[in-house]
């Protein structure tokens, strides 16, 4: 059962009473023009839309090409987290070493000193317990952010994430919302071994009632963090361990990124390449080679792993008529498998060739660097797949 132990009723009431009505922020688009209105317009409050709609594409680089400031991806996550803690006193952080140590990858560095130990709560090594505590805190009106030191460790909290985070809104007859963010590092690192190299997207995608997003740039990392904290739904935010030191210039002004929109990374006409997280960069490496060979691939970072942005994906398929999916997730039952099923169900008549999906091999990730590399999709494989699709 979800528990609210560790959060007194008096403290909750104090936080609630101090929270004033919060204005909706502008959404910064590729032209860097603020567009007022609610984020996630495609769904009613408290409900997850089955088919999200992308109004237009973004280009983060152009949004802050002349202004803004440079940050690493982990710093962008911290900025988003700090801005939301400043904006809303109900936001709090739970996890191992998130306090004075600053988190395993320094995402929460300095926040304990600024906001105190009750809002940035160091927990014991007990994932099931502190995730349950976060669910209970959310039920009483707080907006907790749970950090897994490694996403693989959160398998110990799977019951809380599935049976409580995902289902309590439904099983309570709508009496409770669970505005909780569950985030942390995952993916195949560099010789971190099998247990620390897991891709858990496929584990969580079948849980009813949660949303899933994967950040890939400092720009969308900050925007997705802010949007996830403001969402009334439980959101799992996947961060790749090898992308934390990625640098990019982001806007100085406040912005959020929709939880339900894909990003058009590179427009093209010959083939649609769907990817996310670290594989975005493997795809863009391959795209350079493909362009030199005369191909014009369209690259989409799907970002929203649940629900899929079928509007953006569908419009691309109607143009190119060919689809390549590139993921780091496992092949069996992975995101690519679900995406393939969704495309076949909705856009089969527009396909001129079978969908090709490149995924990691269904084996525990080896420690040896050469073997580890073989288990993950590499740019030459992407080039070969596109050449075969476009024959």
Instruction: Report the C-alpha gap between 115 and 80 in whole angstroms.
Output: 15
Residues in a beta bridge with 325? 274, 357
239 is catalytic: no
- The one catalytic residue in 127, 147, 232, 263 is 127
Q: Are 194 and 365 in contact (CB under 8 A)?
A: yes
Q: Are 215 and 205 in contact (CB under 8 A)?
A: no
127 is catalytic: yes
Instruction: Report the C-alpha gap between 207 and 233 in whole angstroms.
Output: 13
Instruction: Report the C-alpha gap between 134 and 165 in whole angstroms.
Output: 9
Instruction: Report the C-alpha gap between 238 and 328 in whole angstroms.
Output: 12
- The one catalytic residue in 84, 96, 196, 270 is 196
Helices 218-230 and 73-87: crossing angle in degrees, nearest 10, is 30
Q: What share of the chain is helix, strand, coil (3-state, %, to 5)?
A: 35, 20, 45
Q: What angle do CA 110, 113, 118 make, to 5 degrees?
A: 115
* Active centre residues (catalytic): 127, 196
């Amino acid at each position: 059962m979800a528990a609210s132990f560790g959060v007194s009723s008096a403290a909750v009431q104090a936080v609630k009473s101090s929270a004033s009505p919060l204005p909706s922020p502008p959404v910064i688009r590729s032209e860097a023009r603020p567009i007022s209105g609610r984020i996630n317009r495609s769904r009613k409050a408290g409900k997850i839309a089955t088919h999200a709609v992308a109004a237009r594409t973004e280009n983060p680089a152009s949004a802050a090409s002349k202004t803004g400031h440079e940050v690493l991806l982990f710093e962008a996550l911290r900025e988003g987290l700090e801005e939301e803690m400043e904006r809303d006193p109900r936001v709090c952080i739970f996890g191992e070493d998130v306090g004075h140590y600053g988190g395993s990858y320094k995402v929460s560095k300095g926040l304990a000193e600024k906001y105190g130990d009750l809002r940035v709560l160091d927990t014991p090594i007990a994932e099931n317990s502190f995730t349950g505590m976060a669910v209970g805190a959310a039920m009483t009106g707080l907006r907790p952010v749970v950090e897994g030191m490694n996403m693989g460790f959160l398998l110990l909290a799977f019951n809380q994430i599935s049976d409580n985070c995902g289902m309590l809104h439904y099983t309570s007859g709508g009496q409770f919302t669970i505005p909780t963010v569950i985030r942390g590092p995952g993916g195949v690192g560099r010789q971190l071994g099998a247990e620390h190299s897991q891709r858990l997207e496929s584990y969580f995608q079948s849980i009813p009632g949660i949303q899933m997003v994967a950040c890939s740039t400092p720009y969308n990392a900050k925007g997705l963090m802010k949007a996830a904290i403001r969402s009334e739904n439980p959101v799992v935010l996947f961060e790749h361990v090898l992308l934390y030191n990625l640098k990019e210039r982001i806007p100085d002004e406040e912005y959020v990124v929709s939880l339900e929109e894909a990003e058009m990374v590179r427009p093209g006409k010959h083939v649609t390449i769907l990817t996310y997280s670290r594989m975005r960069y493997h795809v863009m490496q391959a795209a350079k080679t493909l362009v030199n060979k005369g191909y014009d691939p369209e690259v989409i970072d799907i970002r929203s792993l649940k629900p899929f942005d079928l509007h953006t994906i569908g419009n691309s398929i109607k143009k190119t008529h060919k689809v390549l999916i590139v993921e780091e997730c496992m092949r069996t039952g992975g995101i690519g498998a679900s995406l393939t099923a969704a495309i076949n169900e909705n856009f089969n008549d527009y396909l001129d060739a079978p969908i090709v999906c490149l995924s990691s091999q269904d084996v525990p990730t080896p420690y040896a660097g050469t073997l580890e590399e073989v288990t993950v999709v590499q740019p030459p494989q992407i080039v070969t797949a596109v050449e075969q699709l476009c024959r």
